[in-house]
Each structure stands twice: as C-alpha cells, then as structure tokens.
Structure 1
Amino acid sequence: MSYERIIDQYITTNDHFLQEFIAQTLHDYPNKKNEWTRFLLREAIQNPEKATILLYLKVEPEDVEAAMMIKEGLDRIHNSIRHFFTQLLLDFTPDIILENQHLLTDLINDQDWDIYQVLSEGSEDEVWKEYIKILTRLESESDFNMNVYLLAKKIAFTLVKKNYITRDQVMMMFEANRNEEWFQYDGYLAVYMMGLMEMKETTAQLVSLLTRDDDMLLEEISEALISFQTDEVVDAVKVYLNDMEANIFATSIIENIKTEHAVNELRNAYHQVEADMQGTIFEALVHQLSPSAEPEIQDYLNHVGSSNFIDINLLAYSYFKLLGIDHPRLGIWRDNLDKR
C-alpha cells in the first residue's frame, strides 16, 4: 500500500497517537491533500486534547476552506490554544490574511498591514518597491527578525504567483550569492522562489550547498528540493547521508520524497553510517511508511532501547500499526505513550 493510501485509510482513526504521527509525517510533505489538513484541523477544534496536532500542520496558502475552518474554530476553542490557530492564519495568501485582519491585529503591526494591501491590490511596480524595501529593512536589523522575514516571503510569493518575476531573474539573484561566504536575504528568497517555481533544473546547484554552515539557507534548500519530488534529488543528496555535517538535512530531504528509490537509498545508508547517525535514518524510514524498510527498522529497535533525540515509542508504534503488522512489542510502546 502506498504512502498516500495509508494516510487516506488512517487519518480518520480515533487513535490520538496515530493522528499525531500522521500530522508529523505530513508536515514537510508537499503533496498532501487539502482534505487531510482540514480533517486534522477539525479534530483539533472538536477535541482540545488533540491540540498538539496543530504544532505540525502546514496549510496550503490558497485553501480558502481551511481558512474558514480556522476562523470558525476561533469562536469555539479554549484561549490556551488560540495562538496556534491565529499563527496558522499567517500562512495564507495576503488576500486571505486581509480578510481576517480583525483576528490578527496582535500579530501584524499597522505598517505591515499597508504592505499586505499592496500585495493584494498593488501594481507590479508597487510590489517590487515593497520587495526592495523589505530587503533593506532585513539587512538593517541588528538581530534577525522572523516576522519581517516571513513578510518578505509573502512578497516573494506574490511576485511568483502574479508572474512579476522570471526564472532568469531568480537565477541571477541566486548566482549573485552562491559563491559568497554568506548568503544575503535576497539569496535566501531566491532559493524559496526556486521551490515555488519548481525549478528542478537547479537541483545540482542547490545540493552543492548542503555543507554550508547556515541553517536558514539549509532550511530553504531543503524545502525547495523536497518540493521537486524527484529521484534525481535523491541521487544528488544521498552522498551526504554519511556526512556528519549535512546528515540531518540530507536525511530530511530524502525522507520526504516518497518513492521506492528514496526508501532504498535510506536503507543502504542505514548500514553505512556511524551508529550515532542511524537514529535519523531510522526516523526517516519510519516516515516513509514502506514495508520494505522493516528489516532496518527492526534492527534499530533491537539495538537501541531509548533515545533523547527521537520518540522511539511513537515511531515504532505508528509504523507497525499503520502497516498492519502485529508486532509483539506494540502493547509496550502503547503503554509507554499513555504514560508520557
């Protein structure tokens, strides 16, 4: 059974732990169905004890129905989880954010509301002016400001969606940064736009940067490469699975490309990496939800009793339950989850 068929079958389960795992495994997967996200949203609204699901949800920016669900949910939920819902609203398009301005006054300042108005109704020149201004603002800040950077990504998103920027222009921004010691903000945003524009031809250039000591750059590269969903990405990235510096990001990329080739390369890497790196490979194999990975998953469980870095109980319990394998330790893992 394929990854997506497993999610289709089990997303409606009453098992809280399986739903938590499903929310986790869908977090970085770019091809998730809108109805999956909406169902998990509904679960969190109707069952406050499932609010942890919201930690992992990513909404499709143009999913109007999901935005309506969040808006309606804000009238029903407890104040203790209200911030999860308002934060999700920031992931939508500028138009949807403007429609919900009254719910976001605490998260967006007056100056930035004017920018959202330009993104919704402004001309091409006006959007470009905001883009240049936001880059200047980012570079002038003494400390990194995540809210300003996320607003910059909203402007970049608008440039792409309204066809105000070309692939050649994005490549020029990227190339201007690629050989520098440190990327500037326009370089980060260029990588983000390469993902939005599905510029799969840039796979080799992006992968070559995986050893950079720059987490923001690596996050954008990972998201772009995952969005391509190709075995070409797997083949380019697999050489970094045994690299102590790049292992975590490389593993995450291949974990979220749902092909049998990706599973096979993770299985091969499991037997080649140092023992202290096998945990990340184990977690990636679990999230692939492939029966062929059972030997490596079982091997890891036989040799590792606990971990401070990964939730072995949730991972093992979810893998065997979702694949319908009656493992003798299922009850133990479930008891451990109930006690946590």
Structure 2
Amino acid sequence: MNFIERIKPHLISDDVLIQEVVLHAIHDFPYLSEENVNALVKEAFHNKEKQLSILVYIANHPLNEEAIQILIHSIPGMDKSKTHLAIDLLNQIEPKLALKYKPDLENYMNADKWALYELLANGTKEMVYAEYQKLVNTLDRAVEFQHDAFVKAKQVAAWMVTKGWVTEREIEAVIQAELKEPSFSFDGILNVYMIGRLKLEQFIPTLACLLDRDDDVLLDEVSVALIRFQSDEVVKEVKPYLLKDESIIFAASVVENIKSDLAVEALREAYHQVEEEDSQDLLIEALCHQFSEQALPEIREHMEKEYFSGLVDIEQAVYSYFAILGLEHPDLEEWRKVAMERELDFRSGSEQGKMLQSVPVHNETKVGRNDPCPCGSGKKYKKCCGK
C-alpha cells in the first residue's frame, strides 16, 4: 500500500488531530490527485472548524475548474476574517483558467494581477521575458522580501516553463554563475524553481549542496524542487544533510516527502546518529508522516523519553501515526489527550491564537524556521505561518 492509499481514508477525518497531521503530511507532497484536492475544498466549506487548516495546507496544490467553482460559490458566505485564504488560492490558478472565470473572480484580484494574466495568456515571449526581468529587478533591489512580487515572478517562471521558453543550457549557465557568488540572486532562486518544474535530474546533486545555505527563500525553493523529483537519487544526495544542525530542518522536509522505503531508512539511520532533541523530534515527525511500519522501532523508542524539544507536536504526530496504521500502544489515549488539550488551547485559549485565525501573515522579513512566529501565536515559525 502506497502513501496515498494509506492516507486516503483519513484525508477527511472526524478526528481533528488526525486531520491536521494528514494535512501537514500532504502540504508539500506534490502529487495529490485533483479528486482529493476537490474533496478537501468541499470539506473546508462543509465543516467550518476545519476551514482554516484545510485552506492553509492545500495552498501548494493546483486547483481545477471544479475547485474554482466551489470557491466562487462559497467565498461570499465565508467569515470575512478568513476570505484571504480562499482568495490566495485563487491568486495562484493557471492564467487561462483565471481569464475564463474573470467575471466571477474580478472582484477578488487587483488590476495588476489581471494585467499579468492577460500578458501571460496573450503576450509574446519577448514581452513575458521583459516582465520576468522587471520582477527580478524589483525583488533584488527591495530592502525587504516582497512576497507578492515573488509570487508573480514564480507564476511568470512557471508560464515560461509551460511554453518551453526556458532551456536546460540557459538554466545551467545561470546556476553556475550563481554558485560563484556568496548568495543567490532572485534570478538564481527562480531558476531553482524552474529546475523542479522541469524535473532536470542532472541538477539533483547541485540542489542538495545548497541545503546548508543561510537563505530561507532559496532553501524553500530548493526543498520544493527536490521533492518534485520523488526520486531515491534525491534521498541519497540529501541524506548527509540530515546530520547537520544548519540543514536538518529543510533536509528532513525533503526526505519526509520522498515516499519510498529508502527515504524511511535514511530517516531511521539519521535518528540514531543525531543527539540534539530538536533534531530527533524533527526526524520522528518526518517518520510519522511517511506512515510506514518500518519506522515503528524508532517511534516506539523515542516515545519512551521523558522530555521532548517542543519544536513539533510530537504526541499528535505519533498518535495519528498509530491510529492511521491501526497499531496499538498503551499510551495511545494519553498522547491523544495531551495533543487535544494543546490543540484546544491554541484554537480558543489565547487571544494570540484567535489573532492568528483573523490576520493574514506573510513572511515579509527573513525569519528562521526555529524562531518564534512573528504573528505572536507562541508556536515556532515552522509550525505556524511557515507551514
């Protein structure tokens, strides 16, 4: 039974803890079917308690026409504090599809966005390249990270890939030039993004070597690109970075999302070699998200410990792992209780938690994945707005 077959019965679960863990596990996994994405979009509006989590966690998955129609029908009735989450999904749809539904979507996107869609759908190669360069220049010159400009630049880059306007030789030239510099420009970062879109396997070792860079924007795109390959070659190249403090967060995310026996084995081996509690918790969470019984010895061993780092909600991850695989454990109910108390406290027990649900937060400045989230929730950035 593969990863999707294991999680499919739990993709929409009455157990909020299991639902959250499954959503977390599919957030960066690139090959969730349209059928499953549509089911989650429907559930988001059928069960409003799940709406926030679902809309956040499906943000990386493309929407088809059925999903777009659901959003168009449902947004007018949404809580105004959450409409930005649905609109963010609409802002990432394919240009020609957006233009097809422009009469229904016009009020949710600004004039600049519609101009971009018109350019991509009807502009020449030269016109699109000029827009790409304009956005790259804006990003490189800005004092702070410009989230909206970066999203637009990725849409332009994706269109260039779709149209076959980018060659391997051009990407090779950009990457080689960037490697000689102390840091990557936004053109370099966007070429990393295009490598993932094109699945250019010859770049796997180069991308893996970037995992110890100190640039979260670059690392996010490196991780996404590597995950898209769904290849054991990626596991082999990334494996050494599981043992380094400066790279384990992104390396664990990559290997966690390569759904293979070799990936599980790499995470198991790394668990026995690292010593920091943070690192061990990250690796156990990654193993839980593989939903493989091969990981059972390490997960059992880890839960015998008295203290956890607090970097991840370990009880929730392990409880869900056992429940989804139908495994027994004497502490299963205790883990569920601890995890549920934490979830309820976060959802309704603090003003900061309420603020998170009502205020859209973008990572406008550089925030470490282990740093406190700037939204004030009290959670690590990795486990909050950095999801």
In which range does the TM-score fall when normalised by the shorter chain? over 0.9
Q: 1:233 to 1:101 in 2, by over 3 A?
A: farther
User: Does structure 1 residue 81 correspond to structure 2 residue 85?
Assistant: no
Superposed displacement of residue 101, structure 1: 7.1
Deviations 1:166-220 (A, max 9, x none): 1211222222212210111110000000000011111111111111111111111
CA distance in 1, matches of 2:138, 2:12: 45
Question: Compared with structure 1, are the counterparts of its residues 114 and 244 closer, same or farther at alpha carbon in structure 2 (3 Å cutoff)?
Answer: same
The aligned runs of 1:93-172 (5 Å cut-off) are 93-98=94-99, 99-100=101-102, 103=105, 105=107, 108-172=109-173
Please report how far the alpha carbon of residue 137 of structure 1 lies from its aligned counterpart in structure 2 after TM superposition: 2.1
Corresponding residue for 1:45? 45
Comparing 108-117 and 162-171, the one that deviates more: 108-117
Q: Which deviates further from its counterpart, 300-309 or 201-210?
A: 300-309
Identify the match of residue 311 of structure 1 among 310, 313, 319: 313
For 2:312, the aligned partner's letter is: I
Write the distance in 1 (CA, Å) between the matches of 2:296 and 2:226.
26
Partners in 2 of 1:140 and 1:218 — Cα distance? 20
Cα distance in 2 between the residues matched to 1:20 and 1:279: 18
1:1-340 to 2 correspondences below 5 Å: 1-51=1-51, 52-61=53-62, 63-98=64-99, 99-100=101-102, 103=105, 105=107, 108-276=109-277, 277-339=279-341, 340=344
Amino acid at match of 2:133: I
The alignment partner of 1:302 has SS state of coil
Residues 115 and 12 (structure 1 numbering): CA distance in 2 closer, same or farther, change over 3 Å? closer
Is the partner of 2:164 in helix, strand or coil?
A: coil
Task: Report if the CA contact (8 A) 2:62-2:93 is conserved.
Answer: yes
Q: Distance in 2 between matches of 1:103 and 1:329?
A: 49
Deviation at 1:116, TM superposition (A): 2.0
Cα drift, residue 233 of structure 1: 0.7
Consecutive unaligned residues of structure 2, counting only runs of 5 or more, are: 345-387
Once the two structures are TM-superposed, the CA of residue 317 in structure 1 deviates from its matched residue by 1.3
Q: Output the amino acid matched with 1:183.
A: F
1:258 and 1:142 map into 2 onto residues whose CA distance is 39
Secondary structure of the equivalent of 2:199? coil
> Cα RMSD between the aligned structures?
1.8
CA 1:76–1:105: 2 relative to 1, 3 Å: closer
CA drift of 1:72 comes to 1.8
Residue 275 (structure 1) shift? 3.2
1: CA distance between counterparts of 2:199 and 2:40? 27
| Superposed CA offset, 1:245-289 (max 9, x none) | 111111111010000010011101100011322111111000010
Alpha carbons of structure 1 residues 140 and 112: separation in structure 2 relative to 1, 3 Å: farther
Q: Is the 8 A contact 2:12 2:43 kept in 1?
A: no
Distance 1:138 1:112 in 2: 17
Alignment check: 8 A CA contact 1:207 1:236 kept: yes
Q: CA offsets, 1:93-147, max 9 Å, x none?
A: 12233434764656x5433432221011112221112112212222232322110
Query: In 2, distance between residues paired with 1:56 and 1:336?
Result: 23
Paired AA for residue 257 in structure 1: I
CA–CA separation in structure 2 for the residues paired with 1:159 and 1:42: 32
Pairs aligned (count): 339
Shift of 1:316: 1.4
Q: Could you tell me which amino acid in structure 1 is paired with residue 241 of structure 2? A: Y
TM-score (norm 2): 0.83
Measured in 2, the distance between the counterparts of 1:59 and 1:140 equals: 27
What residue identity is the alignment partner of 1:96? L
Which has the larger displacement, 72-81 or 203-212? 72-81
Give 3-state SS (helix, strand or coil) of 1:75's partner: helix
How many percent identity over aligned positions? Answer: 36
Residue 368 (structure 2) aligns with? none
8 Å CA contact retained: 1:256, 1:288: yes
- The gaps in structure 1 that reach 5 residues or longer are none
Residue deviations 1:26-76, cap 9 Å, x none?
Answer: 000112112222111111111111122222113543622222222222133
Letter in 1 for 2:15: D
**CA distance in structure 1 between the aligned counterparts of 2:268 and 2:223, rounded to whole angstroms:** 20
Q: Contact 1:3–1:289 at 8 Å: present in 2 too?
A: yes
